[in-house]
Structure 1
């Protein structure tokens, strides 16, 4: 799985417009082959701080999006952010659920030793 995370700060007074624009970027992603999730979040603590997330089955599905109009629109939104945005592409090789909390701590030997 590949995650795209974009953290940005919208200029004062532009938050509703930027959220709307991110949702317009998000909707086609949700319909695209290989996209398992897309969402837009606003901070409950810091006004104007936004998080945009996409999750893709694999890197090739995401990379096919780079030349699309919706991805160019995302890049335009990054350019007008109030502060330099933070963009991350995370390659996720393993995901665990709550059972991880009840297992041995990472790096702990499992057998006698």
Structure 2
């Protein structure tokens, strides 16, 4: 079963560009990770400090392996420095019709 993760980030004042850079730096390693189906950061055009990342993974195991990797851990270190508040992440699975 597929898994979608939607993560919301809010940069501290003056750290908007660094947030964008950190999230964009994860595009290539995420897409190359086994089990990654999609990874895309989005910026709020009306509020540059706010970004959302939408990821799609084959399963929880693929996501867990990605999060154990060096690129993800490095991004977490950067986010600890640049965020105004902790990220909000939601895990979503496909809705089953008739269930």
TM-score range, shorter chain: 0.7 to 0.9
Match of 1:69 in 2: 70
Number of equivalences: 96
Deviation at 1:64, TM superposition (A): 1.2
Structure with bigger helix share is 2
Deviation at 1:9, TM superposition (A): 0.8
RMSD over equivalenced CA pairs, Å: 2.1
Match of 2:85 in 1: 83
Unpaired stretches in structure 1, ≥5 consecutive residues: 97-105, 107-113
TM-score by length of 1: 0.72
Instruction: Render the CA deviation track for 1:67-105: whole Å, top value 9, x for unaligned.
Output: 111121232244231123212222x13379xxxxxxxxx
User: Greater relative contact order: 1 or 2 (C-alpha under 8 angstroms, separation 6 or more)?
Assistant: 2
Q: Work out the CA distance in 1 between the residues paired with 2:80 and 2:7.
A: 12
TM-score by length of 2: 0.81
SS at match of 1:65: helix
Match of 1:99 in 2: none
